[in-house]
Amino acid sequence: METKRVKIEDTARIHDRELLEAAEILREGGLVAFPTETVYGLGANALDEEAAKRIYAAKGRPSDNPLIAHISCMEELPAIVKEIPEAGRKLAEKYWPGPLTMIFPKKDIVPYGTTGGLDTVAVRMPVDPVANCLIHLAGVPIAAPSANTSGRPSPTKAEHVIEDMDGKIEMIIDGGAVGIGVESTIVDVSGDVPTLLRPGAITMEMLRETVGRVEIDPAIQAPPSADLRPKAPGMKYRHYAPTAPMLLVEGPEASLGLIRLAIMAEAHGLRTGVIALKATVDHFPKGGNFVIHNGGATLEAYAGTLFHDLRAFDSEGVDLILGEGVREDQMGLAIMNRLRKSAGHNIIWAEGGLLYHRSGAVPECLRTLVMEGMPER
């Protein structure tokens, strides 16, 4: 299959004619990758079970991992959900269109192939003008997980999509680099108490300010479990994984611990990739065998380049990747969720001048490097 690439010249002034072919492909059961404000999505008709199967096949995605149905306006929601609970209504009024996905009881028109076999459906209304216009022109809700091979870091520009999807899908719409850089927040509003299933740019603090009590699903911070039946994308399987083994450094001395680990890795002849906040990067020794990606000075900047940096390491020939952990409030909760999954929950804890192996299985090539003097904590 030849994948057509369509470049949107001015995303602030989109002409319908630029997206009419893509909309027709979607209506006919084809696959189109397109930008959103979070990451690039791989779109298909959410009401077409065969089209949903094509998404799973193109990504190599397990079929019990639910897809998110994207709509262009609030008027399209009642056609696919049985009810809109009060919490869902309040959140929609506050944060739609935007980077928030909510889970509702589904109507029969939404096939189980889209929902991963569940009686609920995840729904989002993107604010990105390309995405919103495309959904409107297609005239159907668009199922769209991230447009990458399952398990890899999510794509934040069209070139990332081409790396994974070229020859597998009909079209890629190039709308430039995305803004937020991590996937949408997911909240289950189908039960008595809203529950956060995946953190994102709509933070827990923002959710609680809007609806009061919100619970956190334990799977957000836990390693993947084969026994879990996921209610939302990203809950069960390993995600966002670069090719090289990765360690995440957490704790009150994460910055110093990361620098110390990088120096140790260099002494063992490892070419080490580093993703860290600007304050840590500024203190790194000069001239070492490091590939350093500056995550910026803020949590929003760190999130915005996270997946781009993880993908870049694959082409930069690193033997090891070290990531810097951050505080878990505001945007930090989403960053830590992605970093832990990227590292396979291989975590080093830095405190009191010591480094502890906290969890996960340290890759074989690193055991002589990190296990000596690092007791389980």
- The overall pTM is greater than 0.75: yes
Nearest to 300 by CA among 177, 180, 153, 176: 180
For residues 295-333, one letter each, b for 16 or more C-beta atoms within 10 angstroms of the residue's C-beta and e for the rest, the string is bbeebebbbbbbbbbbbbbbeeebbbbbbbbbebebbbb
Q: CA 70: distance to chain centroid?
A: 16
**Residue 36 DSSP class:** -
Q: Over its length of 377 residues, how does the chain's per-residue pLDDT go in tens digits?
A: 899 999 998 988 998 999 999 999 999 999 999 999 999 999 999 999 999 999 999 999 887 889 999 999 999 999 999 999 999 999 999 999 999 999 999 999 999 999 999 999 999 999 999 999 999 999 999 999 999 999 899 999 999 999 999 999 999 999 999 999 999 999 999 999 999 999 999 999 999 999 999 999 988 877 766 566 667 666 555 677 899 999 999 999 999 999 999 998 898 899 999 999 999 999 998 888 899 999 999 999 999 999 999 999 999 999 999 999 999 999 999 999 999 999 999 999 999 988 888 777 666 666 666 654 455 55
Q: What is the pLDDT of residue 370?
A: 61
User: Which residue intervals of the chain bear CATH 3.40.50.11030?
Assistant: 246-370
pLDDT of 194 reads 98
Sequence-distant (≥ 6) Cβ neighbours of residue 54 within 8 angstroms: 29, 30, 31, 44
Q: Work out the number of other CB atoms within 10 angstroms of the CB of residue 240.
A: 26
In Å, what is the CA distance from 16 to each residue of 25, 158, 175? 15, 20, 14
* Of 70, 99, 115, nearest in space to 229 by CA: 115
CA distance 58 to 143: 14
CATH 3.40.50.10490 fits 4-220, yes or no: no
Fold topology of 246-370: Rossmann fold (3.40.50)
Rounded CA-CA distance 135/126 in Å is: 9
Q: Which of 129, 136, 142 is nearest to 32 (CA)?
A: 142
Locate CATH 3.90.870.10 in the chain: 4-220
Question: What pLDDT score was predicted for residue 220?
Answer: 82
- Could you give the CA distance from residue 238 to residue 241 in angstroms, rounded to a whole number? 7
